[in-house]
Amino acid sequence: MRHALRHIFMRYKYYISIAIFAIGIGFIGDHCLVRRYAQKQEIAELRSNIKHEIDTYNTDKQKLERIRNNPEAVKRVAHEKYYMKTEDEDIFVIADGE
């Protein structure tokens, strides 16, 4: 039995070495292929979040410029967002039924 195992190992030693190396590269260690794939997915998600935040920033920046330059825009924001009113109007806020 021992002689048979030694014979098999000697005959297929290169294939066995390559298989062990492939398993080590693919699944073992800090820089394995499985972990690298997961990190690439995370990087793609973070880049998507960065793009979303940049778009939000640019939109808010444009709104702020409009508010700074246009007094009517200030009134509109006060009406829509903070439910403020002028002296000659009434505002009714209807909340969804809870």
Cα-to-chain-centroid distance, residue 55: 14
DSSP secondary structure letters along 15-34: HHHHHHHHHHHHHSSTT-HH
What amino acid occupies position 33? L
User: Do residues 91 and 85 touch, judged by C-beta distance below 8 A?
Assistant: yes
User: What's the rounded Cα separation, in Å, for the pair 9 and 17?
Assistant: 10
Q: Which helix (H) or strand (E) holds 80?
A: helix 71-82
* pLDDT per residue of the chain (98 residues) written in tens, 0 to 9: 777 878 888 888 888 889 988 888 777 877 778 888 999 999 999 999 999 999 999 999 998 898 888 888 888 887 777 777 777 777 777 787 66
Q: What is the pTM of this model?
A: 0.55
